[in-house]
Amino acid sequence: MSRRPLKFRHGARVLLVAGDEVLLVNDSDPGIPGSSWWVLPGGGIDPGERPDQAAVREVGEETGLNLGPGELVGPIATGIAIHGYSDRIRVQEEVIFRAVVERFAPDNAGWTQWERRRMKGMVWHPVESLPQPVWPSRLAELLTVPSGRIVDLGVREESSVPLSEHELREITDRGWVPG
C-alpha cells in the first residue's frame, strides 16, 4: 500500500491565450518549501458535469473570467497526468481546451482556502519565453494545434515528489494507467 494517499479524478484545463501571451497559475507544494511550477487554470470535473462545462466553471472560479458561448475551443489535448506531492498522489485524466480572449486582470477571489495555500498567483507570460517548469511540459506545442486536432499527451508524471516504483505499480494495478 502507498504511504501517500492515492486519488483518481477527471479534470479539465484551459489554455487562455491573449495575443502573444498565455495565462498561467504559479502552483506549489506547501510541504516542500520553495517549490514552484506553472500550470493552466483548471481542476476537477464534478459529477454530472461535462468536461467543457467544468473548464468554463474552473476558469471563472480561478481567474474571474466568465467565458461566453463559443469561446471555448476543443478539446485540443487529452492525457493522464500523475501528480506526486509531499502529502498525496493524484492521477488526473484530463482534457485541455483553448480560449482566445482579450487580456484581462486575473482575479483570485474565487480561490478556495486550499488553493490559496498552494497557488502563488497568476501571470500572463509571453509565448516565446514560457517559464519552467510548466505542466504540461508540451504546452508550447498546444499553442499551435490546428482546429479539430487533438494532441495525445499520453501518461506523464508531473511531480514535486517523484513516485516510487511501488507507487507507480499500485497506480497501474488499479487500472488508472495502462500497464
CATH of the domain at 115: 3.90.79.10
- pLDDT tens track for 23-72: 999 999 999 999 999 999 999 999 999 999 999 999 999 999 999 878 99
Task: Classify residue 175 by burial, with Cβ atoms within 10 Å: 0-12, 13-18, 19+.
Answer: exposed
- 109 part of a folded domain: yes
Q: Which domain holds residue 51?
A: 6-173
Q: What is the pLDDT of residue 40?
A: 98
Number of domains in the chain: 1
- Across the chain, the runs of DSSP E, i.e. the strands, are 6-18, 21-27, 37-39, 42-44, 73-84, 89-100, 121-126, 134-135, 151-157
Q: What is the pLDDT of residue 178?
A: 87
Q: What is the pLDDT of residue 53?
A: 96
- 178 part of a folded domain: no
Contacts 24+ apart (CB under 8 A), 170-175: 170/1, 170/2, 170/6, 171/6, 171/82, 171/89, 171/91, 174/6, 174/8
Q: Distances in Å between the alpha carbon of 151 and those of 16, 53, 74, 145, 172? A: 17, 20, 10, 8, 23
Q: What is the pLDDT of residue 1?
A: 45
- 35 part of a folded domain: yes
- pLDDT tens track for 98-154: 999 999 999 999 999 999 999 999 999 999 999 999 999 999 999 999 989 999 999
How much is the average pLDDT of 73-89? 97
Task: Report the predicted TM-score, pTM, of the whole model to 2 decimal places.
Answer: 0.95
- pLDDT tens track for 161-173: 999 999 999 999 9
- 139 part of a folded domain: yes
